[in-house]
Structures are given as C-alpha cells and as structure tokens.
C-alpha cells in the first residue's frame, strides 16, 4: 500500500494551476510560510482553509485528502447541452481505450 502525502498532493495541485505559494497565500489571506507548512506537512489547514483550497484548486475534498485518487473536472458555466456533449466524448474515448486493452 502506497503512503499518501497530503502536502505533496497540495503542491501538485498548486503547480498544476501555475500558482506560487505567495499567490495561494494571498488568496487565502495567510502568509506564504503557512502554505509552505501545508505542503511540507508541518501545518494542518483548518476546515475553512481546506475548503478554500479545494475551491481554489477546483477539486474535491476527497481527492485532496487521498480518499479518492480519480481525477475530476467540473463543467460549471456550460449549458446542459454542452455538458452532455463533453460527457458523450469522454464516454466514447473511455470505450475506445477499454476496447484496445482487450
């Protein structure tokens, strides 16, 4: 069983958004050393900060905590029809990938 590293997950999410620790600190209204502490596992974020990080990184709390390792994406801001089109494409790709594995 692989050991889960909360700080590493936070760092990966931050870097994926191309944000510095200073950028994140400013958005959460904390000092950059607090973000460094989160990422080095020496400080545990409060529930409020944890929630704000999930919103900032556009991910689920479960993913941030390592309870769910599936990558998720949100279709907010798109019409229902546009969302369905994207889901249809994803399902077709998934079926294509699965059929190649057989």
* Boundaries of every domain in the chain: 1-71, 75-102
Q: Is the pLDDT of residue 7 over 90?
A: yes
Q: Is the pLDDT of residue 1 over 80?
A: no
| Ramachandran sector of residue 18 (left: φ over 0; alpha: ψ -120 to 50; beta: rest) | left
Is it the case that residue 45 has pLDDT exceeding 90? yes
9 in Cβ contact with 60 (< 8 Å)? no
pLDDT of 72? 66
CATH 1.10.10.1150 corresponds to the domain 1-71 = no
**pLDDT tens, 16-39?**
999 999 999 999 999 999 999 999
């Amino acid at each position: 069983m692989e050991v889960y590293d909360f700080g590493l997950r936070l760092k990966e999410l931050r870097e994926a958004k191309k944000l510095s620790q200073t950028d994140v600190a400013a958005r959460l209204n904390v000092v950059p050393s607090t973000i460094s502490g989160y990422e080095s596992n020496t400080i545990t974020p409060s529930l409020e900060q944890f929630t704000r990080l999930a919103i900032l990184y556009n991910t689920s709390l479960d993913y941030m905590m390592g309870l769910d390792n599936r990558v998720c994406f949100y279709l907010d801001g798109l019409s229902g029809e546009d969302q369905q089109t994207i889901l249809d494409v994803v399902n077709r790709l998934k079926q294509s990938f699965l059929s190649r594995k057989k």
